[in-house]
Structure 1
Amino acid sequence: MSIYVGNLSFSVTQQDISDIFSEYGTVKRVQLPTDRETGRPRGFGFVEMETEAQETAAIEALDGAEWMGRDLKVNKARPREERSPGGMGGGGRRTGSSNSFSRRY
């Protein structure tokens, strides 16, 4: 299980996150996704802790807490949704477009 941490400052580091969450138990992993094009942090991250009890304690203590000038959003992370290849939901194909194949006789 992992914890979602949102509304993070763009200057936050993995070490910053690890430090604040370590007050509630052992931090196994911190992940801060970055924008593919700019390399900048995206303002959210994920934390894995050693036990579910530690995760629950961290969520209860930190959700809504002000940190680095922002009110944190902290909750259990939801499983990632499956996405279709091509990013258009249907394998990259549009339906009903004017580019449809038509027969000529």
Structure 2
Amino acid sequence: MAFYNRVGSLLRQGISQNGQAPMASMLNSARYMSSKLFIGGLSFSTDDTSLKEAFSGFGDVTDAKVIMDRDTGRSRGFGFVNFVDEEAANSALTAMDGQDLNGRSIRVSVATERTGPRPSSGGYRGGEGGGYGGGYRGGDSSY
């Protein structure tokens, strides 16, 4: 019991000293440790070149990629921008989040690694063996 009281005391002390919980402080620091940004809400007319041009004013962009649907060839409405340094990425994040790009308000955040299995692209299956239409049942949805 004394251990939990001590941990609680340390957490309260950390909050009172800087106004934030220690974990929140660490997460905010980690948020600004990447030079790769996720850009959401892109117009379907935005391509790699126009995305790079929109962000190049904040620093050297090494790569800008709009993610395309492999079946239709259309933009999926999001992309990624890589900067040479973190400072440029932070400037772009602050300045561009919520701004208009090609007629759409975009969302800009630090890109994070995808964890866990990738979602299936086979449509709604309704759980383990469900789905509608009586087609393929079970396993991987890629035929």
SS at match of 2:67: coil
Aligned-residue Cα RMSD (Å) equals: 2.4
Percent of aligned pairs with the same amino acid: 34
- 1:11 equivalent to 2:78? Answer no
| Partner deviation per Cα, 1:41-71 (whole Å, 9 max, x = no partner) | 1000000001000000000000001121111
CA–CA separation in structure 2 for the residues paired with 1:66 and 1:33: 19
Q: Which aligned segments of 4 or more residues in structure 1 are displaced greater than 4 angstroms?
A: none
Q: How many residues align?
A: 91
1:35 to 51, 54, 69: 69
Structure with more contact order per residue of length (Cα contacts < 8 Å, sep ≥ 6):
1
Return 5+ residue gaps in structure 1 as ranges.
88-93, 96-105
Return 5+ residue gaps in structure 2 as ranges.
1-33, 121-127, 130-143
TM-score, scaled relative to structure 1: 0.77
- 1:71 equivalent to 2:105? Answer yes
Cα drift, residue 82 of structure 1: 2.5
**Larger helix share, 1 or 2:** 2
SS at match of 1:75: strand
SS at match of 1:42: strand
